Every structure is written in C-alpha cells, then in structure tokens.
Amino acid sequence: MDGKLLEAKNVSVDFRIDGQYQTAIHKLNISIKHGEVVALVGESGSGKSTFAMSVMGLHNSDQTRVTGSIKLNDNELIGLSERQFDAYRGVSVGMIFQDPLSSLNPLMKIGDQIAEAITVHDKQSKKVKQRVQKLISDVGIVDVQRVSQQYPHELSGGMRQRVMIAIALANEPDLIIADEPTTALDATIQAQILDLIKEIQQKKNAGILLITHDLGVVAEMADTVTVMYAGQIVEQARVSDLFNHPKHPYTRSLLRADPSEVNSGDELYAIPGTVPALKDMDHSKDLFLKRVPWLDKAEVEATVDEKLQKVSDGHYVRGNAWQNFEFLEDL
C-alpha cells in the first residue's frame, strides 16, 4: 500500500483560557503514507505534541476545540466520541510517549501492563501471555521472564522506553506516533531505540509521525520533514532537501543552532527571542520574523498567504522572507 495513511487538512486547535479560545495550531496540513517516516520539528511550544494529542483524541473536550479534518485510513477522527476513540487507539494508531516513567503505571508489573494493552481490544485472546513475551523479546529485551515481573521503577530509562514501544505495538497499529522517544537517554541507548523503531516500522510497513527537536534524529530517521513554529507550518520538504537547501529563516536558524554543526572552540548560535504566547499569535503573519530584529519592519508585519509556496518538487515554504534572508553576521 502506498496511499495516504494519515491525512490532516486545515487542522486548528484552540484552547479555552480564562473563558476565551486561544489558537495553538492554525490550519495545519500534513500527510503520512504507509511505510513513511515524517518528522515534525520545532521548539517547545510550536504545537507538535498538541497535534499528536489531536490525532489520539486525548484533549480535554471541555477546554479544547479541534477543527478541520484528520483522516486515518480514510476514517474521519475529528468529532468522534470517547468510546469511538477508544476503539481505534492502540489498534489503528499507537503512541510512544516521551516520558515512560510518568506514562507507565507504577503499581503494575511490566507484563501486566503490556497484557492490558492487548486485552482491552481483544478480550477473547487465549494467548496473551505468549504475545506479551514475544513483544518484550521483539523490543530487544533479553531477560523476558524477569522484566515481565518487574515494576517500572526497577528498569533503566532505555528499558522503560522499550516497554513503551512494546505497548504501542501490542496490536500492530498502522500508525506509530513517537513523541520525543529518546529524550533523556544517552547516545548509545538513543541509537538503539531509534534502530528498534526503524526496524519495527519496516517490518510492519507502518507510518511513523516522529516528533522531535533533535535534528540528528531527523537526519537519521525521517523521509520527509515538517517544520513548525508557533502553531504554523513554515517549511515542508524531503529530508535531504531540507538539510541541503533549507529556505525559511526559522529552518535555517534551527540548523545553524545545531550543536553538532559547531566546531570545537566556536560559539554556538542562539536564536534571538522566544516563541510568542498564544494570545500574541497573529497567524496572518509569519510569526518567526519578529525574532529577526534586523529585518525591515514592513516585511515583519506583512500578511502572509496561508498556502505554502512551492519552491521545488516536494518542497514548500511559508511566505517570501526566505528569498532575501541573511543572518546578521553575514550581512
């Protein structure tokens, strides 16, 4: 299958704060094919996890408004009831959360938690124990019997993350959402976890939405990249195009601030300013430009077309500021 597995069109997410709705994501468009890894990149507060929670139906419906369209295997997700969401969470889509210690139940043994992920959707299964053991083995845990009887606090961070992957894969979902899956892990364990996710994805031909701020992870894992800033997509491209020919000032700033690209003794580039608060986001503008103080004020305040501009095959960018953008040090 090479059709669209996930297709999000004009997705907006508004949070109710002090009785008024504030927009956190504005008209996001993104698609994922079977077997494709799409990275969603941006600073904290850009809306990456907010979108993932929308796909999973995990927002508080009393405080959050999600509009637009999110289709998984051509089935519309926006507007589903909690019961309807329960029927597809873990079956059609599984999520690997960024903090396994807070996501796992501290009072349940590992084997019981994985078993629960199976039986909540397959109450008639007679081989739960065997499936649990296979899942633990599949995620690279050697001592299956011992680990299945342990509690989360008895495991290392890397082992807990493997358990989270086992739970996410318990029912062989078509789509895997990996939200910062290697946060707080050392480089060796991080590489093992990424290799494991890639191996499982290829084996099952699953689509992956990889949420991260780590550009090294993106370069290793992704097929295509979507860069978000302040609830907007600012650039979309194949991974090679994005790294070799970045266009948007924000994308270029992220790449310039990547520590792995700095030579020993050189000063690390820091992006000036901060992500604006929700109440200060005017999504008719290119919001990142306010963090580029050397740009002309008229350019910063200009209204930007909501439709991304195509610059080459498969490569799209927001607005026109990229055409003449230079870093202050290079002017």
Q: Which CATH number characterizes residue 246's domain? A: 3.40.50.300
Let me know if residue 210 belongs to a domain: yes
Asked if residue 319 belongs to a domain, the reply is: yes
Sign of torsion over alpha carbons 71, 73, 75, 78: negative
The answer to the question of residue 265 being in a domain is: yes
107 found inside a domain? no
Give the pLDDT confidence score for residue 213 in this predicted structure.
Answer: 86
In the chain, how many domains are there?
1
Per the CB < 8 A criterion, the answer to whether 189 and 158 are in contact is yes
- pLDDT averaged per 10 residues in sequence order, the chain, 331 residues: 84 95 96 96 93 95 95 95 89 89 94 93 79 91 95 94 91 92 82 86 91 90 96 97 96 89 79 92 95 90 93 96 88 63
**Domain ranges, residue 319:** 4-100+172-330
Pairing of strands 4-17, 175-179: unpaired
- Asked whether residue 16 is assigned to any structural domain, the reply reads yes
Q: Which residues contact 146 (CB under 8 A, 6 or more apart)?
A: none
Measured CA to CA, the distance from residue 208 to residue 293 in angstroms comes to 37
pLDDT at residue number 331: 63
Closest to 321 measured CA to CA, from 299, 292, 288:
299
pLDDT at 268: 85
pLDDT for the residue 124: 66
Q: Does residue 268 form part of some domain?
A: yes
The amino acid occupying position 272 is: P
Residues 6+ apart with CB under 8 A from 171: 90, 91, 94, 117, 118, 121, 122
Would you say residue 267 lies in a domain? yes
Domain membership of residue 119 (yes or no) is no
Cα separation, 60 vs 77, whole angstroms: 15
In this prediction, residue 301 carries a pLDDT of: 93
CA 155 to CA 261: how far, in whole Å? 34
Supply the pTM of this predicted model. Answer: 0.92
Token code pair at residue 263? 């030579």
